[in-house]
Amino acid sequence: MKLNLNDDQLMLRDTVSRLFGTEVTPERVRDAENNNGIDMSLWTQVVEMGFHAMRATEECGGLGMSLMDAVLVAEEFGRTVAPIPLCEAITANRVLSLLATDSDEARKWCDKALSGTLLTLLPVEITGSDPVLVPWAAVAEGILALEGDSVVLIEGLAGPVAANMGAAGHRLCVLAGDGAEGRRTVLAEGKAARDGFLATLEEWRLLTAAALAGLGRKALDMAADYASERQQFGRLIGAYQGIAHPLADSLADMEGLQLLVWYSLWAIDSKQPDAGGAVSLAYWWAANTTPRATSRALHTFGGYGVSLEYDIQLYYRRAKAWSLLAGDPRNALQQAGDRLWTDTSVPLPEVGEIEVDFGLGERAEQMAGEVRDFFETNLTPELREKAHHSVAGYDEAFSRKLCEAGLRYPHWPEEFGGRGATPFEMAALNEVFEEYGWERITGPITNQVAFGVMEFARPEVKNEILGQFARGEALACLGFSEPASGSDIYAAKTRAVRDGDDWIISGQKIFTTAGNLADYIFLLTRTNPDVPKHKGMTIFIVPMNLPGIEIQPVHTLQDERTNITYLEDVRVPDKYRLGEVDGGLKVMLHAMEMEHGGADQYRLWYQTMFQNAVTWAHETRRNGRAVIEEPAIRMRLARVAAHHAIARILCYRSLWASYYKVANRSHFGPVSKLFTTECYQQDAVELMDLAAPYSLFEGEHGAGQIELGYRQSIGTTIYGGTSEIMRSLVAEFGLGLPKSRS
């Protein structure tokens, strides 16, 4: 997996950023609106630097750069709402260069365009006499369009039916379908010409989505800067959750959008079966979420935001306008459903060299195969019957076999019984566990505790505990939350008092999942009540067989058991202390970083629900045909597919960033947890409605998994830190807003 840019791409992005950052001032954007929306001086500079020709083939005098390079340019273009038709020009010139080999007329126009003649692209087909909207037609010398199997160039558009500046910031012309207003030249005809144009339309969608991603992110940054300076009622307004949390939601949307565009390029390049669907989903997601992000950003400015004197309104207007240039964005969602679940095929562009990689890699594939073989060999009918998503599915003998095969904790260092597997191999392993319905609760909890022991325990305690874990002889549970403190774990009151070489611990913990099976509890205690709450805490790894510990079950609506753990005068030797006395914050931060970055656990539950919904739609018949054959059903499933695709990318980005120690990654884990669990809950509701009344019945497959997802998803927005906590972390570390958790 590789999500970083190479040196050439970083240089390209910096060059474009400097150009637009210097030349595209708010004053020039406003001035351009009085000149048909275009800044001709900026356009001249763009032509001189060759950005308009970056996707034109080298054979025709273009730069022949990759679509990834063009996407990076489009992102920076969007950040400044630069008043030029960059996405349209890049793709129009691409079409001309593809046709120029076999068409003298196309070659003539290609030469003119690469020299600076401004051409625009009609981003929809001309069909019949229906009118179509042409972006930038008022300033372009020609329009490239597709009509049937013909690629045509339309010149001399005189007296357009309508022209408006409006939200777009440039004149939008309406062209009658028969093209009567202008002269037409057929540049090429036939299937190859049509396919080439259609493939370039996919490029236009991706470039537009990338531009919207840049636009939306810049709007959020503007809002964050304002909210970090503006005070109300004696506080910076960015410290109010009512301001910070919506912006955090939109940051997750925009980062997911950027990555979904990148994923689409990789999917095309690696010939993934969902590549065509991914392009449509990226375009729909851009059109769906960027206007919402800019609306939230503008709202942050209050009444000032709607004033034309403030720049945020420029972003608000263009976010919606750019989203509608090809018509209703829901058409893209319908298109995605058709591409994903029918035989619909679409010509896709040649994307050039794509170095980003969303695959987990060959070693991960080998790990998945090894785990799958293990399950096929060792998962008896009795164990298959016992399999359950909760701790009820735990089987000690099977767990020991997993440990013997090196498949329980393969990512541990070799010195502790692991084999140093990467997070990507572990992600592949977890996919297989989920495929077979085998519980992934006891292992991850024990793993989280184990890494705390590795980092902070004394050597004799490491020797005692880690070997048991590695052999499958022991499990652990977490003792963080308390009935009175909930998510505010630093308000814990479980007391630990020093008594010679021991500590006497009394209190209670709630949600100690697997506590009924565990041999050790990772226990947060208060050792000093006279200092700020986060400074007077100490962590212990406490054997559960010590006198004074009592476990009582708590059963949840997710069909799982958790527990309340009571501790009364439990005598714990000091050797079981982790870290320094009153130094529990450091230990907790280590543990919480793993928990906040562990959204892939929830994502796989989400994936199971979604996959079963698709299976149900294929296998269930209504009105004499499979449910999946209904366009409206495919459209609703496509919406869920978009959410899950982004959740998967965000979760894997978090793994990648942690493994490679990527800078400025503090919010990646919270973003993935927030987005994944919130979409899981929303989509569980959507799928319950879609599959009704079948979704009212429990079952291991099909609609029964939707019913389970509905009950399960609500808890995921709470476990490991509530969505509200995640939003505060995202706002603080992702947008630089002041703390909103006071």
Q: Are 29 and 169 in contact (CB under 8 A)?
A: yes
pLDDT at residue 182 above 80? no
SS (H, E, C) 622-691: ECCEEHHHCHHHHHHHHHHHHHHHHHHHHHHHHHHHHHCCCCCCCCHHHHHHHHHHHHHHHHHHHHHHHC
pLDDT at position 595, please? 55
pLDDT at position 181, please? 64
Secondary structure (DSSP) of 511-540: --TTTTT-SEEEEEEES-TTS-TTTSEEEE
pLDDT digits (tens, 9 = 90+) for 35-56: 888 999 999 999 999 999 999 9
Rounded Cα distance between 673 and 664, Å, is 17
pLDDT at residue 421 above 70? yes
Four-residue CA torsion sign, 667, 730, 740, 512 = negative
Q: Is the peptide bond before 693 cis (omega within 30 degrees of 0)?
A: yes
pLDDT at position 176, please? 59
Among 734, 736, 588, 739, which Cα is nearest to 673's? Answer: 734
pLDDT at position 138, please? 83
Pick the CATH number of 597-735 from 1.20.140.10, 3.20.20.140, 1.10.1060.10, 3.40.50.300: 1.20.140.10
pLDDT at position 485, please? 79
pLDDT band of residue 159 (cuts 50, 70, 90) is very low
pLDDT at residue 598 above 80? no
pLDDT digits (tens, 9 = 90+) for 557-577: 988 999 999 999 999 999 999
- Lowest-pLDDT range of 131-145, 220-234, 478-492: 478-492
Give percent of the chain with pLDDT exceeding 70: 95
Rounded Cα distance between 671 and 675, Å, is 6
Task: Please give the helix or strand (H or E) that residue 569 lies within, else none.
Answer: strand 560-573
Tell which phi-psi region holds residue 580, choosing left (phi > 0), alpha (psi between -120 and 50) or beta: beta
Label residues 255-281 b or e (16+ Cβ within 10 Å = b): bbbbbbbbbbbbbbbeebebbbbbbbb
CA-based angle 628:632:638, to the nearest 5? 75
Rounded Cα distance between 413 and 419, Å, is 6
Domain 476-591 and domain 597-735, same fold? Reply is no
Among 123, 124, 159, which Cα is nearest to 138's? Answer: 159
Backbone angles phi, psi at 29, to 5 degrees: -65, -45
- Lowest-pLDDT range of 212-216, 453-457, 541-545, 590-594: 590-594
pLDDT at residue 525 above 70? yes
pLDDT band of residue 214 (cuts 50, 70, 90) is very high
Q: What is the DSSP letter of 729?
A: H
pLDDT digits (tens, 9 = 90+) for 313-346: 999 999 999 999 999 999 999 999 999 999 999 9
pLDDT at position 611, please? 96
pLDDT at position 161, please? 43
For residue 678, which amino acid is it? Answer: E
Q: Are 472 and 403 in contact (CB under 8 A)?
A: yes
Indicate the pairing of strand 142-147 with strand 119-121. parallel
For residue 734, which amino acid is it? Answer: G
Among 78, 506, 511, which Cα is nearest to 319's? Answer: 78
Q: What is the DSSP letter of 738?
A: P
pLDDT at position 720, please? 82
Pick the CATH number of 476-591 from 1.10.357.10, 3.30.70.1400, 1.10.443.10, 2.40.110.10: 2.40.110.10
Rounded Cα distance between 711 and 702, Å, is 15
pLDDT digits (tens, 9 = 90+) for 343-392: 999 999 999 999 999 999 999 999 999 999 999 999 999 999 999 989 99
Rounded Cα distance between 368 and 427, Å, is 9
Q: What is the DSSP letter of 271?
A: T
Q: Where are the domains of the chain?
A: 362-440, 476-591, 597-735
Give residue 557's Cα distance to chain centre: 28
Indicate the pairing of strand 560-573 with strand 577-578. unpaired
pLDDT band of residue 74 (cuts 50, 70, 90) is very high
For residue 733, which amino acid is it? Answer: F
Strand partners, 503: 498, 572
Give percent of the chain with pLDDT exceeding 90: 85
Task: Compute and round to an integer the Cα radius of gyration of the chain.
Answer: 29
pLDDT digits (tens, 9 = 90+) for 160-181: 444 555 666 666 666 655 555 6
Look up the pTM and report it. 0.94
Give residue 232's Cα distance to chain centre: 33
Rounded Cα distance between 554 and 251, Å, is 36
- The residues, any chain, with a CB within 8 Å of residue 200's CB and separated by 6 or more, are 91, 94, 95, 98, 121, 349
pLDDT at position 177, please? 55
Average pLDDT over residues 424-447: 94
- Lowest-pLDDT range of 156-165, 685-694, 732-741: 156-165
Long-range Cβ pairs for the range 587-593 (8 Å, 24+): 587/452, 587/455, 587/456, 587/539, 588/480, 588/489, 588/490, 588/524, 588/537, 588/539, 590/451, 590/452, 590/455, 590/456, 591/448, 591/449, 591/451, 591/452, 591/478, 591/522, 592/721, 593/669
